[in-house]
Amino acid sequence: MTETADHPDAYPPSAEFAAAANVDAGIYERAAQDREAFWAEQADCLHWHERWNQVLDWTDAPVAKWFVGGRLNVAYNCVDRHVLEGRGDKVALHWEGEPGDSRTITYSDLLAEVSRAANYLTELGLTAGDRVAIYMPMIPETIVAMLACARLGLPHSLVFAGFSPTALRQRIDDAEARLVITVDGQWRRGTPAPLKEAVDEALLAKGDVPSSVEHVLVVRRVGTEVEWTEGRDLWWHETVAQADPVHEAQAFDAEHPLFILYTSGTTGKPKGILHTSGGYLTQTSYTHRVVFDHKPETDVYWCTADVGWVTGHSYIVYGPLANGATQVLYEGTPNFPDEHRHWQTIEKYGVTIYYTAPTLVRTFMKWGRQIPDAHDLSSIRVLGSVGEPINPEAWRWYRDVIGSGTAPIVDTWWQTETGAIMISPLPGITATKPGAAMTPVPGVSAAVVDEEGKTVRRGETEANGYLVLDQPWPSMLRGIWGDMERYRATYWDRFADQGWYFAGDGAKLDVNGDLWVLGRVDDVMNVSGHRISTAEVESALVGHSGVAEAAVVGASDETTGQGIVAFVILTAEATDTGATMVDELKAEVAREISPIARPREIHVVPELPKTRSGKIMRRLLRDVAEGRELGDTSTLVDPQVFESIRAGRTD
């Protein structure tokens, strides 16, 4: 630890790291002087079939247009360009299968695969603008499928392979997908989990209404038998794999939709976050280059996120591939066959940049440092964190044990909506502080404000503020699929007078003006870095015939950040009121949404605390769930309600 005059616990980069870094401190100044020129410079790192004539058009705010008039092909930028520039033999993916199989895929291989897939999707009759749902695990074909869609201008919608058939169907319907790409099954701790079967279930006609899906393209991964619908289902190895490996990429408008990715909001209905092409690729590749100090010639990069979440989109697929990275892609869980798997993988491939979530760091801490200590992790030079605030204890452990006490940690704050990293240290410049995301990256502007939109004072610890983004940025969402009104209401109404984007997070500024993100201030929970809305879980619970009413809160959890705690009132028909019922309800939520949404605790209670207007006071339930003194109960209809809730908790 280095003491600095400003902060007693700040970690500046070593002189050696700073000297070799991709950018120097002057970048902040340059970006601030002329933001648009700065972003144009970043966009110039990409290949444009036609250059833009205007950097930013904000006249239709809050829907931005970046690089107006520009035309590019995202897949060409991620693949073809590297091959054409003589780097075809460079490894793009070191893929590590869960059972121990592995594949090495060069940029030339990737180009052939993506071209085959693009040719076959064209043969299926898909044309630019058609949507494709991708429900797949961490295998190379998932990336090939995404890039083939990008190449043809088909917006993809990845649905995390842990989601239920119900959740998958909801997303397919909302985007009206014509094609689903999936696998027979995925490996999960040595056992094949059926995915094709889940797709079959999702696509069953709802009454008389068939789904919008015309074909299901299936990659064989685990080799189990699957049901087959003739005419609809197609094997990847019989179609894509046989197609022509040459395909010429066409250019699309910079604002052509690239993907839709559903995320939880404050209501039960997930929001289809829409991202477009030029601005998104500019900011993902720029941030990947500067935040991780990525050097394509020497680095081996590993982002452990699932490709089904935004981190996988931006920092496994688009950002790194646009930068010609060599990366590790791992299919399985970190403890299969044992807890050494990640460290063995780092040793095997000589990983230099490792990007993961705080919840996993805390899990590694629980398993004990003797596990990583048994491996040579000296190749690691940059560590990244994403998804939730990282607690200082986990931060220090991460740096000491995984980063040999020297690797800079970049704590990157961003969201599905922002598309790319917004607030983060730069590893060759920033003196990092354990737990702080620090400052917006050059080119990005953010503020921490109070209820009225006034900037909070530095070092103010009592009144924490709201995090807002006060300038448009290239990778910003362009809307919510099919619901632009909700887009405005969710992100832009809160500070409409100022025209700021409200992130939904609380934050504070320390005495140096560095930013600390404190977590969500709305009804969105963050469980192991996964965003889940209280309303979604409540609606799954009340879907059970035994439940009359449900209220769900996120309570702090040592490992997962937050854990889901539900309070339910049972119906008169509920015959069982004890442990069996609680187990059944937990299973119901896992089935309806996903195992990641399974409540940690469910308490059967006789009543819920409500205000006179009938709103459930979640804040008070959070106090109960975390065993705290109750906050202000004066607005409750019946303050006595807590006696019975507390009694209910001991059930």
Q: Is 625 helix (H, G, I), strand (E, B) or coil?
A: helix
Secondary structure letter of residue 609 according to DSSP: -
Q: How far is the CB of 321 from ligand PRX (least distance, A)?
A: 18
Integer Cα distance of 336 and 13 in angstroms: 34
| Of 352 and 416, CB closest to ligand PRX | 416
Q: How far is the CB of 291 from ligand PRX (least distance, A)?
A: 11
Q: How far is the CB of 116 from ligand PRX (least distance, A)?
A: 31
Which of the stretches 240-248, 368-376, 503-511, 627-635 binds ligand PRX when contact is defined by CB under 6 A? 503-511
CA dihedral 600, 604, 609, 612 (to 10 degrees): 120
Of the candidate residues 165, 387, 427, 479, the single one contacting ligand PRX (CB under 6 A): 387
| Of 270 and 443, CB closest to ligand PRX | 270
Largest CA distance in the chain: 73
Integer Cα distance of 157 and 541 in angstroms: 26
Token pair, residue 380, equals 């690691």
Of the candidate residues 21, 112, 386, 540, the single one contacting ligand PRX (CB under 6 A): 386
Should residue 160 be labelled a site residue for ligand PRX when binding is judged by CB under 6 A? no
Should residue 416 be labelled a site residue for ligand PRX when binding is judged by CB under 6 A? yes
Should residue 411 be labelled a site residue for ligand PRX when binding is judged by CB under 6 A? yes
CA dihedral 217, 221, 224, 228 (to 10 degrees): 0
Should residue 276 be labelled a site residue for ligand PRX when binding is judged by CB under 6 A? no
Which of the stretches 453-461, 514-522, 545-553, 610-618 binds ligand PRX when contact is defined by CB under 6 A? 514-522
User: What type of residue sits at position 159?
Assistant: V
Should residue 526 be labelled a site residue for ligand PRX when binding is judged by CB under 6 A? yes
Integer Cα distance of 286 and 274 in angstroms: 20
| Of 282 and 415, CB closest to ligand PRX | 415
Residue identified by tokens 């992130």 is 503
Should residue 356 be labelled a site residue for ligand PRX when binding is judged by CB under 6 A? no
| Of 73 and 284, CB closest to ligand PRX | 284
Of the candidate residues 96, 505, 523, 588, the single one contacting ligand PRX (CB under 6 A): 505
Should residue 536 be labelled a site residue for ligand PRX when binding is judged by CB under 6 A? no
Closest residue to bound ligand PRX by CB:
416
First to last CA, the chain: 47
Should residue 345 be labelled a site residue for ligand PRX when binding is judged by CB under 6 A? no
Answer whether 156's CB lies under 8 Å from 132's CB: yes
Answer whether 603's CB lies under 8 Å from 610's CB: no
Q: How far is the CB of 545 from ligand PRX (least distance, A)?
A: 32
Which of the stretches 190-198, 215-223, 383-391, 551-559 binds ligand PRX when contact is defined by CB under 6 A? 383-391
Q: How far is the CB of 158 from ligand PRX (least distance, A)?
A: 13
Should residue 412 be labelled a site residue for ligand PRX when binding is judged by CB under 6 A? yes
| Of 162 and 389, CB closest to ligand PRX | 389
Should residue 560 be labelled a site residue for ligand PRX when binding is judged by CB under 6 A? no
Measured at the alpha carbon of residue 128, what is the angle toward residues 86 and 487, in degrees to the nearest 5?
105
Integer Cα distance of 462 and 448 in angstroms: 14
| Of 415 and 533, CB closest to ligand PRX | 415
Q: How far is the CB of 134 from ligand PRX (least distance, A)?
A: 18
Answer whether 239's CB lies under 8 Å from 217's CB: yes
Integer Cα distance of 486 and 479 in angstroms: 9
Should residue 534 be labelled a site residue for ligand PRX when binding is judged by CB under 6 A? no
Token pair, residue 31, equals 């970006």
Integer Cα distance of 186 and 374 in angstroms: 30
Binders in 298-317 for ligand PRX, by CB under 6 A:
310-311
Measured at the alpha carbon of residue 531, what is the angle toward residues 525 and 535, in degrees to the nearest 5?
55
Of the candidate residues 247, 520, 586, 603, the single one contacting ligand PRX (CB under 6 A): 520
Secondary structure letter of residue 110 according to DSSP: H
Should residue 263 be labelled a site residue for ligand PRX when binding is judged by CB under 6 A? yes
Secondary structure letter of residue 112 according to DSSP: H
Looking only at the bridges linking them, the beta strands covering 601-604 and 561-570 are parallel
Q: Tell me: cis bond preceding 337? Omega within 30 of 0 counts.
A: yes
Q: Find the helix or strand (DSSP H, E) in which 527 lies.
A: strand 524-527
| Of 596 and 637, CB closest to ligand PRX | 596
Q: Find the helix or strand (DSSP H, E) in which 173 lies.
A: helix 165-175
The helix/strand count (H/E) of the chain reads as 21, 30
What secondary structure does DSSP assign to 15-69, as a single string?
A: HHHHHH-SS-THHHHHHHH-HHHHHHHHHTTS--SB--SEEEE-TTTTS-EEEET
Should residue 284 be labelled a site residue for ligand PRX when binding is judged by CB under 6 A? no
Which of the stretches 14-22, 26-34, 369-377, 498-506 binds ligand PRX when contact is defined by CB under 6 A? 498-506
Should residue 153 be labelled a site residue for ligand PRX when binding is judged by CB under 6 A? no
| Of 165 and 389, CB closest to ligand PRX | 389
Should residue 523 be labelled a site residue for ligand PRX when binding is judged by CB under 6 A? no
CA count, 13 A, side-chain hemisphere, 465: 23
Should residue 437 be labelled a site residue for ligand PRX when binding is judged by CB under 6 A? yes
Integer Cα distance of 166 and 591 in angstroms: 8
CA count, 13 A, side-chain hemisphere, 646: 13
Should residue 359 be labelled a site residue for ligand PRX when binding is judged by CB under 6 A? no
Number of other CB atoms surrounding residue 129 within 10 Å? 12
Of the candidate residues 504, 546, 563, 609, the single one contacting ligand PRX (CB under 6 A): 504
Should residue 415 be labelled a site residue for ligand PRX when binding is judged by CB under 6 A? yes
Should residue 35 be labelled a site residue for ligand PRX when binding is judged by CB under 6 A? no
Q: Sign of the C-alpha dihedral, residues 358, 359, 362, 364?
A: negative
Residue identified by tokens 């015959």 is 575
Of the candidate residues 531, 544, 598, 618, the single one contacting ligand PRX (CB under 6 A): 531
Should residue 287 be labelled a site residue for ligand PRX when binding is judged by CB under 6 A? no
| Of 17 and 414, CB closest to ligand PRX | 414
Q: How far is the CB of 520 from ligand PRX (least distance, A)?
A: 5
Of the candidate residues 233, 388, 514, 592, the single one contacting ligand PRX (CB under 6 A): 388
Of the candidate residues 409, 517, 525, 551, the single one contacting ligand PRX (CB under 6 A): 517
Should residue 414 be labelled a site residue for ligand PRX when binding is judged by CB under 6 A? yes
Q: How far is the CB of 126 from ligand PRX (least distance, A)?
A: 28
Binding region for ligand PRX (CB under 6 A):
263, 310-311, 386-389, 411-416, 437, 503-505, 517, 519-520, 526, 531
